[in-house]
Amino acid sequence: MNFLFIIGGLLLLIYGGNWLLKASVALSLKLNISKIVIGMTVVSFATSAPELIVSLKAALNGAPDLALGNVIGSNIANLGFVLGVTLLFGAMKIQKSFYQTDWPVMMLASGLLYFFLTGDQQIVRYEGIILFSLLVLFLVYLLRFQKTSFEEDLPEVEAVLSVPYLLFYLGIGGVGLWAGSELLVAGAKSMAEDFGVSQRVIGVTVVSVGTSIPELSASIIAVIKKEKAISLGNLIGSNIFNILAVLGITSIVTPVAVSDLGLLSNDIFWMLGVSFLILPFVLLPKRFQLNWKHGFVLLLLYGIFIYRTL
């Protein structure tokens, strides 16, 4: 029954996230926002919505390790699993904004998370405000500077949604995310108890992979459609959103404390390591390009992480 709850919750989160993504991108295109900004903001926020809803629900239900494990595990999965699989579908050219803005902000957010957690093993309200404020500043920078930095055609869409359809997809997307989070959190907590493992283990494996599926589908579609700006911006942006928005908002609502120290002695170092590794991959051996070899290494590392965690 717990397994069915988790599967049902993940399906609702995936469909809810996709409906929300569809409406959000269509709305952005109506506003003539460039592809890179769509990738770094709208797509990232929509695909991070499952993590936000699940982490907030878990924290409010007294499962902080599930909330933290979900975010840290999702960040590892985004770069190790999602980016790894995406690169197997083809090489990806990287824009200079990656190392000028995107990667530094991701590392800053990751470093802040490590600093906040190792201090008193929890993220309190004022720290959540700092995280969320950094997100606001980052978005302001994107919209002011990067919007005019990329003279690219807007991505193709199958159909332009009318306002009623936009509202409809936003509505059912929100309901799907809420219902999915209810089922997923309940099933994950019970599964941890049944198998005698910590909520942190379930969070960084089953839950994080499940909530990263929207990123995987969005990135593969972007690569197939040659929309590589959205693909890379989606992954880096989602990791930034996971820390600054998901944990920022969650800790503003309720403090998020660590009870399983494996999050601090193992998981967060994997997140920092994989995040840092992307920079030398981008710069060496061929500058500003990732290929299937990088994807293979990332998948191998992710497999090692899962093996060591379990």
* DSSP notation for 85-138: HHHTT--EE--THIIIIIHHHHHHHHHHHHHHHHHHSEE-HHHHHHHHHHHHHH
pLDDT by position in tens, the chain (length 310)? 777 888 888 888 778 877 877 777 777 777 776 666 666 666 667 667 777 888 888 888 888 898 899 899 999 999 999 999 988 887 888 877 788 888 999 999 999 999 999 989 999 999 999 999 999 998 888 777 765 544 443 344 445 677 788 778 878 887 888 788 888 888 888 888 788 888 899 889 888 887 777 677 767 777 777 665 556 777 888 899 899 999 999 999 999 999 899 999 999 999 999 999 999 998 887 778 888 999 999 999 999 999 998 8
Tokens of 120: 């008193």
CB contact at 8 A, 209 and 13: no
CATH, residue 302: 1.20.1420.30
Residue range(s) defining the domain that contains residue 244: 2-309
Residues forming beta bridges with residue 93, ordered by sequence position:
289
Distance CA 37, CA 229 (A): 9
Number of domains in the chain: 1
